[in-house]
């Protein structure tokens, strides 16, 4: 019995990373999963995924991280993988204004292929290449914060796959956003099931009333419905 492993209690979450080509999506994933940085990373073709276990707020998760190809010509290869996503990271590079401007179209593309309510889905904006000198920065943090506010994205973080700064924090933040929406959904489901129970109670009351009614019209009700107190012999 010593080699029996306890069942895994990890919650599996599918995380998709989107953003323009060259912003650093593959490097972000590789730094997080393998603690590795490739200064000559090649373009991704289609999608690639890696798993990584993570503990957030005393809960254990397995993140299934999908790194997608940012180049337009690979659109048809990446979009079939959007369905079933739990968390979407929208990435841009702090030294590439165009990649920041493209965030809205990445979000739109995601929503076109995975029909979820954008206001209730954990999108997280991730700035990459935060290690670059200030003189190369093309996207001020305040502008990103404003974009997030306008698009109802609650979380934004800048990272560097090169130095590791904020990489693990970005994924933990993303899980926390997921937890937030999950808790809201759970609360609503609980409230709904409470309503259902109340509804069932009123249905039962009606059922009792019908039973008396049937007895009055047609004599004795069917055997299964009879209550000895109500129908004395
Ligand atoms: N300075 C710096 N360079 C980075 C960082 N992350 C990635 N890079 C570089 O940016 C280039 C592109 O990185 P990738 O991770 O391949 O970019 P990608 O977004 O996956 O690109 P596609 O596969 O074409 O979508 C590579 O030369 C990386 O070395 C970073 O944090 N800092």
Pocket residues: Cβ below 6 A from ligand 1: 19, 21-27, 38-41, 43-44, 69-71, 128-129, 131-132, 160-162
Residues 6+ apart with CB under 8 A from 75: 109
Residue at 218 is within a domain:
no
How many A from CA of 126 to the centre of ligand 1? 13
**Domain membership of residue 49 as a residue range:** 11-192
Q: What's the total number of domains in the chain?
A: 1
Residue at 1 is within a domain:
no
Q: Quote the CA–CA distance of 110 and 80 in Å, as a whole number.
A: 10
Residue at 205 is within a domain:
no
Nearest by Cα to 148 from 110, 105, 85, 103: 103
| Nearest residue by C-alpha to atom 3 in ligand 1 | 129
- List, edge to edge, every strand of the sheet that includes 87-93: 47-56, 59-68, 11-19, 87-93, 123-128, 155-158
Residue at 25 is within a domain:
yes
How many A from CA of 23 to the centre of ligand 1? 5
Residue at 53 is within a domain:
yes
Mutate which of 27, 133, 165 to test ligand 1's pocket (most atoms within 8 Å of Cβ)? Answer: 27
Residue at 208 is within a domain:
no
Residue at 3 is within a domain:
no
How many A from CA of 26 to the centre of ligand 1? 7
pTM of the full predicted structure?
0.82
Q: Quote the CA–CA distance of 167 and 99 in Å, as a whole number.
A: 19
CATH code of the domain in which 28 resides: 3.40.50.300
Residues 6+ apart with CB under 8 A from 63: 13, 15, 51, 52, 53, 54, 171, 175
| pLDDT values of the chain reduced to their tens digit, one per residue, 233 residues | 455 655 568 999 999 999 999 999 999 999 999 999 999 988 888 889 999 999 999 999 999 999 999 998 889 999 999 999 999 999 999 999 999 999 999 999 999 999 999 999 999 999 999 999 999 999 999 999 999 999 999 899 999 999 999 999 999 999 999 999 988 877 888 887 776 666 556 555 444 433 333 333 333 333 333 333 333 33
Q: Taking the CB of residue 111, how many other CB atoms lie within 10 A of it? A: 16
Nearest by Cα to 131 from 39, 35, 54, 52: 39
């Amino acid at each position: 019995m010593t080699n029996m492993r306890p069942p895994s209690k990890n919650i599996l979450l599918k995380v998709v990373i989107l953003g323009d080509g060259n912003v650093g999506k593959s490097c972000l994933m590789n730094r997080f999963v393998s603690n590795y940085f490739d200064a000559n990373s090649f373009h991704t073709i289609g999608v690639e995924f890696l798993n990584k276990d993570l503990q957030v707020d005393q809960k254990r998760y397995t993140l299934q991280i999908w790194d997608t190809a940012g180049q337009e010509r690979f659109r048809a290869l990446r979009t079939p993988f959007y369905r079933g996503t739990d968390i979407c990271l929208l990435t841009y590079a702090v030294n590439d204004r165009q990649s920041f401007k493209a965030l809205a179209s990445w979000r739109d593309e995601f929503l076109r292929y995975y029909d979820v309510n954008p206001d209730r889905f954990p999108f997280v904006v991730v700035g990459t290449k935060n290690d670059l000198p200030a003189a190369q920065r093309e996207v001020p943090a305040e502008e990103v914060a404003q974009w997030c506010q306008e698009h109802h994205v609650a979380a934004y973080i800048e990272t560097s796959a090169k130095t590791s700064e904020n990489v693990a924090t970005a994924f933990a933040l993303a899980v926390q956003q997921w937890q937030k929406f999950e808790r809201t959904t759970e609360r609503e489901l609980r409230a709904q099931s409470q309503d259902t129970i109340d509804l069932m109670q009123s249905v039962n009351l009606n059922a009792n009333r019908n039973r008396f009614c049937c007895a009055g019209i047609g004599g004795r009700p069917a055997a299964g419905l009879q209550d000895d107190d109500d129908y004395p012999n």
